[in-house]
Structure formats: structure tokens, C-alpha cells
Structure 1
Amino acid sequence: MSPSKVSSITWDSFSNIIDGQPRGSKEKHQGVNPATGEKLWDVPIANQQDVDDAVASAKKAFESWSQVPFETRKEHLVKFKEAYLAHADDMAKLLAEETGKPHQFAQFEVHGAAMWIDHHLTLTIPEERDEDDEKVVTTRYTPLGVVGAICPWNFPIVLSLGKIAPAILTGNTIIVKPSPFTPYTALKMIEIAQEVFPPGVVQVVGGDDKLGPMLTQHPDIAKISFTGSIATGKKIMAACAATLKRVTLELGGNDASIVLPDVDVQKVAPELVMGAFQNSGQVCVATKRIYIHQDIYEDMLNAMVEFTKTMKVGAPSDNALLGPIQNQMQYEKVKTFFEDTKNKGYKFAVGSPDVATGKGFFVQPTIIDNPPNDSKIITEEPFGPIVPTQPWTDEEEVIKRANGSNTGLGACVWGKDVARAEAIGRRLEAGSVWINSWEKPTPAAFFGGHKESGIGGEWGKEGLKAYCNAQVMHSYKLKRQISKL
């Protein structure tokens, strides 16, 4: 298998990549720069024929790619990482334009994505062996086939590579569908990948809302890996049921942080704020509810307010800490949390009840002081820079409060008594729990949610299995037959 070739990389023209070649379309759409509200470059909208062609190419490529030795697939990943990092500066500029991320965080995502590749290079596909006098039973893991990766807009590079790396390492081929809000970096990343991978191994098709169902309903796609909202995840799971596709769903969260009374207030307050407002709150595992012990509640809230006031919000060129909300649809959703909080008369500890209007989708980081348990800001996920705090006194009661959600993606516990913090953490209904840290997923750890926060998971040693079928071989030993004399 030889790599496919595409023309030299340009940064103002974008194509889908099908069977190793760039492909345009008559229908176009544009992303929007969230810092200015201005439209960006044209992007082709893939149609059913494009999807069918991509799947056929991926299915054909799977026949040979799945037989490529594991270590050789790793060598391809190394070459891909090198080719990708050769364009790191351009990728960071593009990422800042399409997401509004401050430049330092765009650079962090671009280079951090390479860490996902690096970690997967340390992994091996597990194989389990059990032997007795009669037989040897070997469990091995084989690739599924064609994978469809439906990716979100908040971390378009990391969360795409987080699916690409394990999929192709385990011998699958993959078709990436980027969010229509942030198509540009994914299209370029997979254009670069054609310098390394054979045609059909890694492809990308961008488009509108009609594209997702074309992938989920396609009979020759073996698995869908989706990161996004709970509502869309349910639709994907229902669509995949018709062909019994394997499905991995990483969905929304409403992460609780429990703060014990023994913490150092001045040290922990900035960490709580960063956990809530990192990436302008547009993180599936961002802190979304903060429960602070009554003994330190006022001191902690005041320290959080003071730190929040230092956070500069602005465009990537403004040397800001927080950028805008990525798209207008999400911007309008975030505003409903401000409107509800204002209309119900809840207390704004910091931030204005009225979101400023103007150029770009900017929202100032906001803390709501002790709203009721049934308030919108407590029960729903804003996915923006607004977070509630509540006091607590009884440990059993606050654990019930933290678990009182239909979601269970992440959670945090803060306390100098680490044993106590860990004991509380073990009782939280969440797929990932951080002790004395805000939420920081890593490719070295399995990542998935409880309850409506998802099905299955990815990353870590167990993550490779998400892209495999288990195959058990029962090998019986031949017994010497003793003939009768």
C-alpha cells in the first residue's frame, strides 16, 4: 500500500478527502469567526454519493490495512505526527480563527493533540491466554472495519485525533465528520494525512446536518464514535440500532465539585474558577456545579470572585485568557441561563445579568451565588462561562446532591485529607473523578460517562478495545491414540 498524494497544502482552500483525493461540491457552506461574526472560507457539503464513495474506499482499504503489522501501523502514525507538526503554526492560526480560542490555547491544542498519538504509540493490543490440560483458549482483538467519527466543535483537533489514532492503530479505516461549525482544521489535518496513509485509510467528509444520518445509517460502517450532546447521541444510537453498529457515545455532563472545609482557600479558589471557565466553559467535563463547605463558603466565594475579575475575555489577537462562545446557536443557549437567573432573582456574585451585545459571541465569566436546587443553572448544562456555587454542611447530603443528575461524566473533590476526599470520590456517579484538580482528561486514562453521559469510552489501555471485536480461539490438544494390541 502506497500513500496517496494531494497537492501542496494551502490555507485558504478546503476540500473533502475521499479515496486519497480532494473533492469539492456544488453546495457550499461557511464557518463563522466567533470573535467577529464574519463568515470564513467556503467548505464543500458532502452528499450521499460522496459518503458512499468514501465508505467504499474505506472498505477496500480495510482489506489490506487490517493486515499491516501492528508495528508498521505505528510507524505510519509517527510519520503522520511529524507531517502534522510541520504545519503546527498554520494549524494553530486556523484553529484560533474557527474557534475563537486565544492563541496560546490554540497552540496548546495543536501540540497537545500530538500527545494523543505519542501515548497510543506506547500501547499494544491486548491478548489473553488461558491453558489447561485439554486446551488453550486465546482471546484476541480484531479490527471492526470502517469507523465513522462524528466530532464536536469545542476541541476539533484533539477530539478528532483521539478517534483517529486508536482506530487506525487497531487496523480499522476511518471517515471523520467534523462539526459544520469548525470544519477547517479537521479538513487540513486529514489532507496532511494523505502524505502518509494509503488511500481510504483516513478520510474526511464535511457538510451539514444531513451528513450525520448518512453515516449512521450506512450498512458498511461498522462503528460510530460520537462526541457531542445527549440529545444527538440518543438519535445516533437509535439510528445505529438498525444495523447493530458498534457505538461509542461521549456526551454531555453536569460535573460537580465538592470542596471540603480543610482546603487552602487562596490556592484552591483559582483552580475552581479555571475548572469552570477553561475554554470559556465549553468543555464536556468543565466544572458546572460547585459545592463549598459552609465554614469556608464566603471566603472561597470571595476569592473566586476576585480571581474571576482578573480573567480577560477577548479575541485571539487580544492576548485574552478566554475567547468567545464558538457559535451563535450555543451563544443564544448560554444567554438563556443568564435570562433565567435574572428573571428568578438569583444573586450574581460576579458578572452581569445582561450579556453584552456587539461584534462576536462574547460572554463574561459569571458566578451565581446559591441558587436553589431546582434552578436551571443547577439542573442543566450551560456549556458556557457561567457556574453556580452552593454551601453544604452534611457529607451524605452533598453526595446525594452531586449525584442528583441524569449525567455522570466527571467530578472533583478537593481536600487536604486525601483519604477522605477519595472516599467521597468513590461514591460519586461519574466516569472520571479528580482529587485536588479540576478536570484534566489524558490519553493515558480511559474516558467515558455514567448514566446519560455516554455509552462505552475511549483512550487508555482499555480504549483500543473500543475499536475491536473480541475473538476467542479454543485450541484443543491432540491426544495420542493408543491402539489396542
Structure 2
Amino acid sequence: MTSQSSVLVDFSSFRNVIDGNLRSSKILSQGINPSNKGKLWDVPVATAEDLDDAVKAAQQSFRSWSRVPWESRQKLISNLRDLLLQYQQELANILMLEGGKPIQFAALEVEHAANFLNFYATQEPLDEEIQDDEVLHMTLKFIPMGVVGAITPWNFPLVLSIAKVGAALVTGNCIIVKPSPFTPYTVLKFAEIAQHVLPAGVIQALHGDEKTGPLMTEHPGIAKISFTGSSSTGKLIMAAASKTLKSITLEMGGNSASIICPDVDIESVAKQVAIGSFFNSGQFCMASKRIYVHKDIYLQFLKAITAVVQSWKVGPASEQDVMLGPVQNDMQYKIVKSFFQDTIDNGYKFAIEGGPEGEDSYVIQPAIVDNPPDHSKIVAEETFGPIVPLLSWSSEEEVIARVNDTSSGLGGTVWSTDLQRAQRLGNQIEAGTIWINSSEKPLPQGYFSGHKESGVGGEWGRHGLYAYCNTQCMHIYK
């Protein structure tokens, strides 16, 4: 560890971080800039031996790190937050290039990541006293599990990784982060920066290929897997982790809905709902991917939200004043295109036609589909891109049934000036997080979990710290 003032970081080269050292590999890959399809920096692909070395280093460090007092770990996390913010602009620039995020939203992601570190640096220890009388003193201790494997996605690579890192570290675990192969750069650089604050082996990061995730989930030296990504991959992780009975936390996809009641301020709410649906070009697991508008205001709301979306500048992330950048990768680009094609093939009506912009980037102009049927692909499946259906509803019973007619249950929003009505509707949505009169704004202090196929367990918030702990109930008879 070094003093923060002496930290020098090279933002033009990237290595895996293993046992406090930067390590390359015989095999290199390159990420793709989705704004122009150009190749980014070389990045080494970790081997099975690299993973073994990382696990051994984490196990060795765990022996001492788990004994560091809670308050001392928090101080180091605070130092890490400060160092992260020292390099906010550099990390934001990398996020812009690898993630296709307009620079203002890339900088916001770094800020939100720092907010997670700040939250974990201010939480009290978890241990509880259950009984203390003349006969028995009973306590419930929450003890770290050991080595945590974090498998993180490409849509918000930095903040979703750091949310896991902060929770694991403050509870006394060591962590190995495997970022998405589409977006390895900011996570690797963060882990490199962290070596100047934390002991070797406490946080490590490996850029891998299709073999690395399965190796992590089956590795006997990893006690817990925390995963954020698709439901299909989450099911594979759950099956693989069962071989060693690992603890798992799975945060997976969603097909969340917004319910718009007829008493809202249409112009104001349309602006906020548009942000909630199209933020990060729709590549946001909690985004409102279905918008249900009461029939009495449907046409007015359609006109208002259409005007909002059409006012945005859409294009390469590096251009000034861009609101929506490209879809992040070719795989997702093709998935989103299939929703456009299905909408066209079935003759559904576009309020905004949108669609792919050209072959030189993964930019897709946003689209709104006007009242397609509930069985349509655009309604029934998660798009994870800038195309959203607007749907009409009449009764509360009807709209709740339609909103809940999905295998996912991650989030939802309700908009009404009648808070009792909004809460009544929100209470009936089968999802882990509900926002009333707000677009989707996840916060570090809010426990985050999914219902149905959107998740197993949960994290974030004080309650989320328990996901990184084993328990020990101590009975002391006097």
C-alpha cells in the first residue's frame, strides 16, 4: 500500500490483478467501442491457473483481513472511495469508450460507485445480543464467508462491481471480480487502483472468457458467488454452484412496468417515465420496459412522451449533448433488432419508428410502439434496448393482472397524485423494488432483490450485508 498522493496510474494499459500484482497472459483480447465498432486496448485473458492463484491469494489474505476490526476496514473503504473519485474523469472516459455511455452518465456511474463505498463505510457492525441475564449470555455473530466470486455485467460494469466489492470487504471477505468480457477495462483499473489502499489479495480482478465464469462457480476455494446478469446465465450458475453448495446471490433480468394513473401531471410525468424507460439506451435491468397508461389520458400521454423522446440527441457517446448512446455490443444489438423486426412483421403501430442507424456503430434510434397486444414479443419479453411499448388500461384489477403476467419480478413504478391509490397498486406488483412517483432510481441504502426468475436472495442496503456472512450463535452460560 502507498500514500494516495503518490499513486500513479496508467490508463492506457490493462492487466489482470492477482495477489497485488499486475499479470498479463499469452492470450489477449480487445473490447469494442460500440460508438464506432473500433477495437479498444489489449487485455489479457485469465487462465485456469490465474484463477487458482487468485483464490490461493484470497484465502491467504482472508486469514488476516477477516481479523481487521470493522472500523479499520471502513477507514480503508473510505480511502478507496476518495481514490476512486480522484480518478473520476479518467474512469468515466473509459466507461464512455467501452460502454457507449455519454460522458455525463459515465461520470455519474463513477459517482454512484463512490456512493456505495461511502454507504458501506458508514454502517455499524451486524452482531446482535439476543439474551443477557443471570443464567445466559447469547449473541448472534455475523462472520465473513471467505472468498467471494463476483460475476458482473456489461451495462453498468463499475457501479455493479463496486456494490459487491464494498459489501464483501466491510464484512471481512476477500473478493475476486470477473467483469463482463464486453467491458473489462474500468473494473480492472479500479482493482489496480485499489492495490494502493488494500492489502494484496483482498480484491483481485480477472478478465476471462466463456470458461472463466464456470470455473469460478465450481471452484472449491470460493465460498460465495454474487452474480448480476441474465436469468439464463443465473440458472446455470445456480446449478454449477450446487456442486459445492456455495452461497449464491443472483440478480437477474426484469420486464418491469410503469402504471400511469389518470390524475397525473402528464407533461411532468412523461419526462420522468421516458428517462426511466430509455436510460442507458434501455440497457437497465430495472427500466420500465412496459408503460401502462390509463385510457382516459392515453392519447395525451402518448403525445407528450413522444415529444420528449424525439427531443433527445442520439448518437455516438463521444458527441456533445448526446442523451442516448449506442447499444453496448453486437449480441445485444441483434437482440434489439429482432424486436423491431417482429413489430414490423406483425404490423404493430410505431408512435416513433426508430431503429438501427447504420453499420458503423451500434446506435439504435429509440422507438415507442403504440398499444401492441399483450402477447406480442415487445410486451412479453425483456427488450434491454431503446424500444418500449405504451399500453392502455381501464381498471386496477385488470392492469395489475397484466403487469404481473410475467416470469420476472425485479421492479415497477406507479404514478398518481393519490398516494393511497399508488401504494395500493404498488403493493400488488410482484416485484422486489417499487417506486412511487419516481422513475427507477436505485440507491445504496435500498435492499435490492428480485421475485420469480429475477433473483435469488438480494444485496445492497444494510440488509444486503447479511448475504456476505455466515452466522454463529454463541451460548455462554454463567
For the superposition of Structure 1 and Structure 2, which TM-score range results when normalised by the shorter chain? over 0.9
Using the alignment, how far apart are the partners of 1:53 and 1:419 within structure 2? 56
Task: Name 1:120's counterpart in structure 2.
Answer: 120
Using the alignment, how far apart are the partners of 1:24 and 1:76 within structure 2? 27
- The answer as to whether partners of 1:408 and 1:430 remain within 8 angstroms in 2 is yes
Check if 1:78 corresponds to 2:53.
no
Return the letter of the residue paired with 1:83. Answer: L
Check if 1:324 corresponds to 2:333.
no
- The answer as to whether partners of 1:4 and 1:194 remain within 8 angstroms in 2 is no
Aligned pairs for 1:124-163 within 5 A = 124-131=124-131, 134-163=135-164
Using the alignment, how far apart are the partners of 1:351 and 1:270 within structure 2? 19
> Max radius of gyration: which structure?
1
SS in structure 2 of the partner of residue 295 of structure 1? coil
Task: Name 1:336's counterpart in structure 2.
Answer: 338
Task: Name 1:482's counterpart in structure 2.
Answer: none
Task: Name 1:440's counterpart in structure 2.
Answer: 441
Shift of 1:191: 0.3
Runs of 4+ in 1 over 6 A off after TM superposition: 3-7
Using the alignment, how far apart are the partners of 2:3 and 2:158 within structure 1? 22
Return the letter of the residue paired with 1:278. Answer: F
Using the alignment, how far apart are the partners of 1:84 and 1:392 within structure 2? 46
Check if 1:348 corresponds to 2:350.
yes
Which whole-Å deviations, capped at 9, do the CAs of 1:282-311 have from their partners, x for residues lacking one?
000000001110000010011111111101
Aligned pairs for 1:243-254 within 5 A = 243-254=244-255
Aligned pairs for 1:319-398 within 5 A = 319=320, 320-352=322-354, 354-398=355-399
Shift of 1:384: 0.3
SS in structure 1 of the partner of residue 257 of structure 2? strand
Shift of 1:137: 2.1
Larger deviation: 410-419 or 72-81? 72-81
SS in structure 2 of the partner of residue 111 of structure 1? helix
Using the alignment, how far apart are the partners of 2:418 and 2:88 within structure 1? 42
Check if 1:426 corresponds to 2:391.
no
Task: Name 1:10's counterpart in structure 2.
Answer: 10
Using the alignment, how far apart are the partners of 1:7 and 1:60 within structure 2? 25
Task: Name 1:301's counterpart in structure 2.
Answer: 302
- The answer as to whether partners of 2:96 and 2:318 remain within 8 angstroms in 1 is no
Using the alignment, how far apart are the partners of 2:113 and 2:254 within structure 1? 22
Using the alignment, how far apart are the partners of 1:379 and 1:476 within structure 2? 58
Using the alignment, how far apart are the partners of 1:209 and 1:200 within structure 2? 24
- The answer as to whether partners of 2:259 and 2:413 remain within 8 angstroms in 1 is yes
Shift of 1:4: 11
Aligned pairs for 1:214-253 within 5 A = 214-253=215-254
Return the letter of the residue paired with 1:56. Answer: K
SS in structure 1 of the partner of residue 365 of structure 2? coil
SS in structure 2 of the partner of residue 80 of structure 1? helix
Task: Name 2:469's counterpart in structure 1.
Answer: 468
- The answer as to whether partners of 1:3 and 1:199 remain within 8 angstroms in 2 is no
Using the alignment, how far apart are the partners of 1:470 and 1:425 within structure 2? 33
Using the alignment, how far apart are the partners of 2:285 and 2:476 within structure 1? 45
Which whole-Å deviations, capped at 9, do the CAs of 1:319-340 have from their partners, x for residues lacking one?
2001000001100000000000
- The answer as to whether partners of 1:449 and 1:457 remain within 8 angstroms in 2 is yes
Which whole-Å deviations, capped at 9, do the CAs of 1:74-110 have from their partners, x for residues lacking one?
1111111122222111111111111111011111111
Aligned pairs for 1:166-185 within 5 A = 166-185=167-186
SS in structure 2 of the partner of residue 312 of structure 1? coil
Larger deviation: 239-248 or 315-324? 315-324
Aligned pairs for 1:93-104 within 5 A = 93-104=93-104
- The answer as to whether partners of 1:4 and 1:199 remain within 8 angstroms in 2 is no
Gaps of 5+ in 2: none
Check if 1:28 corresponds to 2:28.
yes
Shift of 1:154: 0.6
Return the letter of the residue paired with 1:10. Answer: D
Using the alignment, how far apart are the partners of 1:363 and 1:125 within structure 2? 46
Using the alignment, how far apart are the partners of 2:305 and 2:426 within structure 1? 23
Using the alignment, how far apart are the partners of 2:125 and 2:424 within structure 1? 33
Shift of 1:127: 2.1
Using the alignment, how far apart are the partners of 1:347 and 1:253 within structure 2? 24
SS in structure 2 of the partner of residue 124 of structure 1? coil
SS in structure 1 of the partner of residue 280 of structure 2? helix
Return the letter of the residue paired with 2:120. Answer: H
SS in structure 1 of the partner of residue 364 of structure 2? coil
Q: What TM-score, normalized by structure 2, do the two folds share?
A: 0.97
Using the alignment, how far apart are the partners of 1:264 and 1:332 within structure 2? 37
SS in structure 2 of the partner of residue 318 of structure 1? coil
Q: What TM-score, normalized by structure 1, do the two folds share?
A: 0.96
Shift of 1:134: 3.5
Using the alignment, how far apart are the partners of 2:139 and 2:129 within structure 1? 4
Return the letter of the residue paired with 1:171. Answer: G
Check if 1:206 corresponds to 2:207.
yes
Which whole-Å deviations, capped at 9, do the CAs of 1:419-477 have from their partners, x for residues lacking one?
11001101110000000011111001100100100011111110110100111111222
Which whole-Å deviations, capped at 9, do the CAs of 1:162-198 have from their partners, x for residues lacking one?
0000101100000000111000001111100000111
Return the letter of the residue paired with 2:248. Answer: V
Which whole-Å deviations, capped at 9, do the CAs of 1:240-273 have from their partners, x for residues lacking one?
0000100000000000111111111111111111
- The answer as to whether partners of 2:102 and 2:323 remain within 8 angstroms in 1 is yes
Shift of 1:3: 6.6
Using the alignment, how far apart are the partners of 2:116 and 2:39 within structure 1? 31
Return the letter of the residue paired with 1:428. Answer: I
Check if 1:105 corresponds to 2:105.
yes
Aligned residue pairs, count: 475
